[in-house]
């Protein structure tokens, strides 16, 4: 098997430390970066809703940037309040993170997109649309995930 990306990320991915429940942290391992999410709702063991953390460099540190100096916020309002305390304008006031549906299928977590209109759907999806009123599509996540871990990392060299 050929490994791609950062060796540390490949060794860390797939860890699961606790039962998945609302508030559980998630780390997604990409090529060399890591992104953080948290669970907002557990529909069942194989279907959850997640939102991304808003990650900002800790401006109280002397360098103001770094690989380990991150602060995590659930809303842009919290992030704006923090940034404004340091004299920055912050983000647009109308921004909000988008909740995503994740489903465990084929031994991996995938994003689920639910459609209620007949836009480019297949014959099988048309049957589902007629029967249920919606059809679902799935796509692989950008990277592998670990539950119970919140570990943001941004590779400044790319």
Taking only the tens of pLDDT, the chain with its 158 residues reads 444 555 565 556 555 556 889 999 999 988 888 899 999 999 998 999 999 999 988 877 776 555 567 889 998 888 888 888 888 887 777 778 889 999 999 888 999 998 888 777 888 888 888 888 888 999 998 878 889 888 888 877 76
Helix (H, G, I), strand (E, B) or coil at 108: strand
Sorted by where each begins, the domain ranges of the chain are: 7-112+139-147
- Residues 141/28, Cβ–Cβ less than 8 Å: yes
Token duo for residue 52: 């991304």
Helix/strand/coil for 41? strand
């Amino acid at each position: 098997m050929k490994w791609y990306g950062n060796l540390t990320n490949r060794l860390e991915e797939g860890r699961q430390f606790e039962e998945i429940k609302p508030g559980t942290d998630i780390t997604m391992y990409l090529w060399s970066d890591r992104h953080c999410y948290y669970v907002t709702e557990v529909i069942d063991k194989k279907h959850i809703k997640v939102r991304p953390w808003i990650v900002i460099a800790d401006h109280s540190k002397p360098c103001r940037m770094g690989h380990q100096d991150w602060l995590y916020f659930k809303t842009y309002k919290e992030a704006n309040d923090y940034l404004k305390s340091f004299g920055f304008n912050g983000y647009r006031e109308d921004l909000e993170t988008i909740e995503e549906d994740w489903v465990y299928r084929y031994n991996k977590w995938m994003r689920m997109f639910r459609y209620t209109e007949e836009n480019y759907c297949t014959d099988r999806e048309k049957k589902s649309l007629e029967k249920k009123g919606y059809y679902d599509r799935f796509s692989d996540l950008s990277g592998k995930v670990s539950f119970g871990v919140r570990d943001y990392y941004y590779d400044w060299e790319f």
